[in-house]
């Protein structure tokens, strides 16, 4: 991770929550991106001091929040922690880490980045979104779970040795819960070795991801502005249609993907989130593209509105 020290964590969600809890006290001020993952929000729920949110990736607004935070920190005697993500898991957009670290010239703050989706997939060596944007050394506390590129359980934080040493003795999720079982640790070490010794895996992942994303765009699908392997497909339709569509995809086209519906997205939007992997093939991509064209045709024709179709599918 290009960091001098790191700490193995038992779980990702609890890891983020507890890292935030350990790093800040009531005098400190947190400034965070509005689209941060639930584990960050839940960590902030425990914070007894002030927190300011800035609209997603809006660096101009972040600057305003930092002015407020700096003023307040002078009164409380605390510090400022800025929190964002390397890659936002719903849209696939990267956090504007470059824009954030540029503000370090004007303001004094520490930067915590949850790079769950960037780790192993972005940057020349797979060190993530910070490496991709050339600012890895400016991330003070780097976090990733093993749940994405390493397809496992567990997580880690990395940064300066004194911060890691402090976290080691102050993270409640590590002290009061079981540590990551050793068979998992062994498995994760093997995966780390593969990430390091087989860069072709990352190249393959991007070949698949690019094939999928370009193919979807060529077929007229709206995939937003993803900058990562996370591939969202935005369709127009209701919640009921989303359920039938997902079942049709799974049962009749052999494609599993997560379906995001209201209230995460507006009521008339269906967000299908595709996660390509290095284990997929270009044939899989082709099959997916054809299936997506087929289900889009059915959705537009109103077929998923018919309740009896759902019934038929359940019986099949």
From candidates 35, 85, 96, 140, binder to ligand PLP by CB under 6 A: 85
Q: How far is the CB of 217 from ligand PLP (least distance, A)?
A: 24
Burial 151-178 (b: 16+ CB within 10 A, else e): ebbbbbbbbeeebbeebeeebebbeeee
> Residue 37 or 202: which CB sits closer to ligand PLP?
37
11 is an interface residue for ligand PLP by CB under 6 A:
yes
> Residue 113 or 208: which CB sits closer to ligand PLP?
113
- Distance between CA atoms of residues 239 and 237, nearest Å: 7
276 is an interface residue for ligand PLP by CB under 6 A:
no
Q: How far is the CB of 89 from ligand PLP (least distance, A)?
A: 4
Q: Are strands 29-33 and 51-54 parallel, antiparallel or unpaired?
A: parallel
Q: Are strands 141-145 and 110-114 parallel, antiparallel or unpaired?
A: parallel
From candidates 31, 69, 116, 233, binder to ligand PLP by CB under 6 A: 116
Helix (H, G, I), strand (E, B) or coil at 131: helix
> Residue 143 or 304: which CB sits closer to ligand PLP?
143
187 is an interface residue for ligand PLP by CB under 6 A:
no
The residue among 55, 4, 13, 16 whose CA lies nearest residue 147 is 13
Side-chain half-sphere of 52: how many Cα atoms within 13 Å? 20
Question: What are the residue ranges of helices labelled H in the chain?
Answer: 12-23, 38-45, 59-76, 97-102, 129-132, 161-170, 172-175, 182-197, 199-218, 239-253, 282-300, 307-315
150 is an interface residue for ligand PLP by CB under 6 A:
no
Around Cβ 190, how many Cβ atoms within 10 Å? 12
Around Cβ 43, how many Cβ atoms within 10 Å? 28
Interface pattern 14-43 for ligand PLP (x via CB under 6 A): --x--------------------x-x----
295 is an interface residue for ligand PLP by CB under 6 A:
no
From candidates 103, 147, 247, 269, binder to ligand PLP by CB under 6 A: 147
114 is an interface residue for ligand PLP by CB under 6 A:
yes
155 is an interface residue for ligand PLP by CB under 6 A:
yes
Interacting positions 212-231 with ligand PLP (CB under 6 A)? none
Which chain residues interact with ligand PLP by CB under 6 A?
A: 11-13, 16, 37, 39, 85, 89, 114, 116, 145, 147, 155
């Amino acid at each position: 991770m290009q960091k001098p020290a790191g700490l193995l964590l038992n779980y990702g969600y609890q890891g983020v929550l507890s890292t935030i809890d350990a790093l800040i006290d009531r005098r400190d001020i947190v400034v965070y991106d509005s689209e941060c993952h639930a584990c960050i929000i839940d960590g902030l729920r425990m914070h007894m001091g002030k927190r300011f949110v800035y609209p997603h990736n809006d660096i101009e607004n972040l600057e305003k929040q930092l002015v407020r935070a700096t003023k307040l920190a002078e009164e409380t005697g605390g510090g400022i922690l800025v929190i964002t993500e390397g890659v936002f898991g719903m849209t696939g957009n990267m956090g504007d880490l470059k824009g954030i670290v540029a503000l370090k010239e004007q303001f004094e703050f520490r930067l915590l980045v949850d790079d769950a989706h960037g780790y192993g997939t972005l940057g020349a060596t797979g060190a993530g979104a910070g490496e991709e944007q050339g600012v890895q050394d400016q991330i003070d506390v780097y976090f990733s779970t093993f749940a994405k590129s390493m397809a496992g359980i567990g997580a880690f934080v990395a940064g300066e040795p004194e911060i890691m040493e402090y976290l080691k003795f102050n993270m409640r999720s590590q002290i009061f819960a079981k540590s990551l079982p050793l068979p998992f640790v062994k498995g994760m070490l093997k995966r780390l070795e593969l990430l390091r010794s087989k860069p072709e895996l990352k190249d393959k992942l991007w070949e698949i991801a690019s094939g999928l994303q370009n193919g979807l765009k060529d077929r007229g699908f709206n995939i937003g502005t993803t900058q990562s392997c996370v591939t969202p497909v935005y369709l127009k339709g209701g919640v009921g249609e989303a359920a039938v569509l997902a079942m049709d995809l799974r049962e009749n086209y052999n494609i599993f993907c997560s379906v995001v519906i209201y209230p995460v997205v507006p009521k008339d939007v269906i967000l299908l989130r595709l996660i390509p992997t290095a284990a997929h093939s270009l044939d899989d991509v082709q099959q997916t593209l054809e299936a997506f064209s087929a289900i889009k045709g059915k959705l537009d024709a109103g077929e998923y509105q018919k309740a009896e179709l759902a019934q038929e599918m359940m019986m099949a």
